[in-house]
Chains A and B, each alone.
Chain A
Amino acid sequence: EVQLVQSGAEVKKPGESLRISCKGSGYRFTSNWISWVRQMPGKGLEWMGRIDPSDSYTHYSPSFQGHVTISVDKSISTAYLQWSSLEASDTAFYYCARIGYSYVFDPWGQGTLVTVSS
């Protein structure tokens, strides 16, 4: 079974750093891009960016460029989403998803809730 398993919920203070993870299994991890998607409380889905696990090439949405970093460790089939300085507005669910040939997101990870509060 193709599966993406994300790390657990996090509670952080503004200004702190954070890295969350997304581990793939059940398929060849380097064969598909991985994307990150943000969903703020009660809001819709926002595409943040994607990474090619085979060469670590990344592409970010202009809305998130410079604020987050997407990386990968293909030796352990894991992608990461990282912040160097969190803001309260980063409070959201973050999902990773495998990108298929036709830019379809499937499957999705179970989501990681990030809460940033002083």
Chain B
Amino acid sequence: QSALTQPPSASGSPGQSVTISCTGTSSDVGGYNYVSWYQQHPGKVPKVMIYEVSKRPSGVPDRFSGSKSGNTASLTVSGLQAEDEADYYCSSYAGSNNLYVIFGGGTKLTVL
């Protein structure tokens, strides 16, 4: 089972919005509302930014939002700030028969 498909890179200027996609199949992203997004700064531990497609843990700025349509989930970062520059990974539950969880390949977000 392949990783979820994310664009390798994305960029935006401070204050702008950027959307990162995460494409899977009906067996993972499309089949369950268990998509999460993680932010990882260089040399740091991944941090959950979104879970269950669109829910934000406490402490995560509301500039971060998530959505899903069919087999594709999306993370939108509004009002880009310099500290948003990081790698972002999506993950999805993929069923208990084979692979419980599958990650995306990651997207490097650059704030210009």
Contact = CB atoms under 8 A, between A and B. Distances in A.
A45 B99 contact: no
Interface stretch (A8-16, A66-74, A101-109): A101-109
Contacts of A50: 100-101
A114 to B, nearest CB: 16
Contact of A106 (B48, B100, B102, B106): B48
Contacts of A95: 45-46
Given A45-B106, A47-B99, A104 B89 contact: no
Given A47-B100, A102-B52, A103-B36, A110 B106 contact: no
Interface in B34-81: 34, 36, 38, 45-48, 51-52, 57
Contact of B34 (A47, A103, A109, A111): A103
A90 interface: no
B46 to A, nearest CB: 6
Interface in B1-29: 1, 3
Interface of A: 35, 37, 44-47, 50, 59, 61-62, 95, 99-100, 102-106, 108-111
A102 B34 contact: yes
A105 B38 contact: yes
A44 B89 contact: yes
Given A44-B105, A62-B1, A95-B46, A103 B89 contact: no
B7 to A, nearest CB: 13
Contact of B103 (A47, A106, A108): A47
B102 A105 contact: no
Given A45-B89, A103-B93, A111 B100 contact: no
A60 to B, nearest CB: 9
B48 A62 contact: no
B99 A104 contact: no
B38 A45 contact: yes
